Structure 1
Amino acid sequence: MAGIVNYIKESFGELKNNVSWTPWAEAQNLTVLVAVFSILFSLAIWGVDTVFSKVIGFYFQLIN
């Protein structure tokens, strides 16, 4: 059990002292950028899916 506690303490110290963190304002900007591109990409996929669905539906109406 002492090994786990020691590991957690050392990990916390490593994160606090040796990791280079992105400034908060930049992290917020990048988060917004990722959210916007995720929404745009999901809308593009939805659009392509809708078009393919209609094309396939139209094709099956033709052969029926």
Structure 2
Amino acid sequence: MVDYIKESYNELRNHVSWPTWAEAQRLTVIVAVFSIVLALAVFGVDKVFSNIIELYFNWIKS
């Protein structure tokens, strides 16, 4: 277990190319925007199908 932690630390320290702070911020904003857009799209589809199902059951009850 100790060797695994040492090797992992060495890998992260010496072999991983980390983005610059500006690039990390830019990518974070992109991910946040796409997450919000996807959430709104799922919400919209859910609302549409919910209304369709509600209309269908109201039609059946009548």
SS of the counterpart of 1:13? helix
Q: Given the alignment of the two structures, is residue 8 of structure 1 paired with residue 5 of structure 2, yes or no?
A: yes
Could you tell me how far apart the structure 1 residues matched to 2:43 and 2:12 are? 40
> Could you tell me the TM-score, scaled by structure 2's length?
0.85
> Could you tell me the TM-score, scaled by structure 1's length?
0.83
Structure 2: 5+ residue stretches without partners = none
Deviation, structure 1 residue 9: 1.8
- The share of aligned pairs that are identical, in percent, is 62
Q: RMSD of aligned C-alpha atoms?
A: 1.1
The alignment covers a number of residue pairs equal to 61
Q: Given the alignment of the two structures, is residue 34 of structure 1 paired with residue 31 of structure 2, yes or no?
A: yes
Residue matched to 2:59: 62
User: Which amino acid in 1 is paired with 2:18?
Assistant: W
Structure 1: 5+ residue stretches without partners = none
